[in-house]
Amino acid sequence: MIVVMSCRGRRLLLGGLAAALLSLGVSPAPSLAGDNSPTAVAAPNRERAAVNARVFDRVWNEVRREYYDPQFNGADWSAARAAFRPKALAAWNDAELYSVLNDMLGLLNDEHAAAASPVAVRRQETARTRRAVLGVTLNRRDDGSYAIENVRAGSPADEAGVRVGWRLLPMPGGWTPEAQVEKGASMRLRLLDEAGGTHDLTLTARLMEPTPVFSADRSRQGVVVLRVEGFEPGLGEWMGEQLADLPPETDVIIDLRGNPGGRLMEADAVLSCFLPHDQAWATRTGRNGRRVVLKTWNRCGELEAPAANEVAVLVSATSRSAAELTPAALQEAGRAVVVGERTAGAVLISQDTVLPDGGRLTLSRADFVTRAGVRLEKRGVDPDVLAVSTPDDRRAGRDPALDAAIAALAKPTPAQAVMVATAS
């Protein structure tokens, strides 16, 4: 979840608190019921039930008043209240309460609609600070399970031999993504490896510096790879710095794989690095039906004009929201070749609201279509060049998608091909 702008104490977002990727001890986690529910008490105490009621009612009413689709994507929202409110009031703790809330929000069939518990919010707010981590990034699968997307070098998980592609299994008393990660705390995990073997591990969290949200790889001749983990504050300024002194013959690859989205103004800044000023690239439509055309208006750092370099954008099935609308806009403008997998198809403009207990609700407030009228929600962006990097590739240090992007940019553009043919 990344902020777009403030508005009466709320925050407008592209991307949500229920992003598909989370780093243990680094990024926000979805709410899951844990193993710590009391068993000897018949019902939560009165104070707990009152908190549950306030949080539930705020979520239900916010959806009723503010959701971008007044038809709730076909869900019977009154019936949802009757079905889920008793369950919410009976929740023992935050984990159970937020599990009920997210089950109800799931009726909207909208990946941006999600509630994050106070623990998840605190984790997100400290994501870019030095903090205790286990060092594993998880990808939530369609069946609700989690797969290891990345293992941070030098982390407790790395030292324990955890590998990309393994899956997190439930176990009694084991760690769940809802649990807080504290320095020195020991976490029990059961993991399933690629061969079907199980590994019961105990990882001790320790303090590590945050990983850079933006990074540039200039190790390849004639190519710079700009890795963007999220559309966070400062992205446009940083990208302008990377492009400022770049020779026009150097190819640019923007890596948005696994990027959950972020600030709309930073997406516009990236587009302004490569598209003319005041060029339309999308249209947003709010609950009231009012349409607003989005045009490039920002600046790409100190660049006086859009960069002339050839561009490729790397995307994956876990590229979401701003990491989908950006490659879509560049693709439609004929300004970049998109390489990788079809993206997640989670492209609505969202806003978050602070809940009475310190949790947060993320909710879609506007629909979104590209300049060409394509609605990316539930559809995603189709790459120009299909290229998939498997867990086996990543374990072996291979990156077929990056190789495909480099190869695609090495081919002459249609204009270059005409020039060559004319010269011959």
Final residue belonging to a domain, choices 185, 208, 231: 208
Does any domain span residue 418?
A: no
> Phi, psi at residue 178, to the nearest 5°?
-80, -20
Does any domain span residue 285?
A: yes
Report the CATH number at residue 54: 3.30.750
Same domain, yes or no: 179 and 193: yes
Give pLDDT tens digits for 67-76. Answer: 999 999 999 9
Average of per-residue pLDDT across 303-331: 95
Domains: count for the chain: 3
Largest CA distance in the chain: 86
From residue 31, alpha-carbon distances to 102, 115, 178, 291, 346 in Å are 8, 8, 6, 34, 19
Does any domain span residue 124?
A: no
Average of per-residue pLDDT across 284-301: 90
Same domain, yes or no: 297 and 331: yes
Report the CATH number at residue 327: 3.90.226.10
Same domain, yes or no: 239 and 337: yes
Final residue belonging to a domain, choices 208, 239, 262: 208
The amino acid at residue 419 is M
Same domain, yes or no: 184 and 113: no
pTM for the predicted model, two decimal places: 0.81
Mean pLDDT, the chain, rounded, equals 86
Same domain, yes or no: 16 and 108: yes
**Structural domain containing residue 34:** 3-118
Angstrom distance (rounded) from CA 155 to CA 201: 14
Same domain, yes or no: 176 and 95: no
Same domain, yes or no: 275 and 328: yes
Does any domain span residue 93?
A: yes
Final residue belonging to a domain, choices 89, 118, 147: 118
Same domain, yes or no: 249 and 103: no
Does any domain span residue 65?
A: yes
Angstrom distance (rounded) from CA 273 to CA 307: 6
pLDDT score at 412: 63
Give pLDDT tens digits for 233-273. Answer: 999 999 999 999 899 999 999 999 999 999 999 999 999 99
Strands (E), 256-333: 280-286, 291-295, 311-315
* DSSP track, 91-133: -SSHHHHHHHHHHHHGGG--TT-EEE-HHHHHHHHTTTSSEEE
Same domain, yes or no: 257 and 378: yes
Does any domain span residue 419?
A: no
Residues in CB range of 99: below 8 A, 6 or more apart: 31, 32, 33, 91
The amino acid at residue 389 is S
Same domain, yes or no: 284 and 373: yes
Same domain, yes or no: 163 and 283: no
pLDDT above 60 for 61: yes
Does any domain span residue 125?
A: no
